[in-house]
Amino acid sequence: MRICLATRNTHKIEEIKHQLSMIEWTSLDVIECEDELPETYTTIAENSAQKALFIWNNYQENCLSDDSGLEVEALNGKPGVDSAHYSGERDAEKNIDLLLKNLAPFENKKARFVTVLTLVIDGKIHQFEGEIKGTIIKERKGKNGFGYDPIFVPENHSTTFAEMTLEQKNVLSHRSNALKKLQDFLDKNE
């Protein structure tokens, strides 16, 4: 079975393919999708489903979409669904700068990353959620990963996601947890 990865984020593609290497993946480029995938809802789960259904409805391709966000307790769950463009732009450095500025007055630095994967197979929707709790640190550490990884330290760890290798991150990340649920689903429905 061929599944289209409904994302242009090369980091997400790398993480997904690394963990689910046995699947025949295709891309938006291969199916000739040049459209910007819609994300018009107010929740991560709704946006994930919207992207996957867009591919199914317009290209009749089985697909997997991912929507993720960082939810910070002291900021009432922000940036959340707006994580990728929190600063008003799709710019990770500006997003981190704004988050650190907004979080500075608060002692509570608890946060969680959440991912919702949406798999559409023959028009049927299946969703898988993963999360990882942790803490936001005051300055960037590490060069790996992407997005907020340089300022997020998972619970019971002393390094940021950006200080970890892809293999280390994939053992415990929010996306990895959702991918494990997806893998279990695929194993049971072969």
To the query of whether residue 67 is one of the catalytic residues in this protein, the response is yes
Of the residues 67, 97, 184, 187, only one is catalytic, namely: 67
118 in Cβ contact with 7 (< 8 Å): no
Catalogue the active-site residues.
Answer: 67
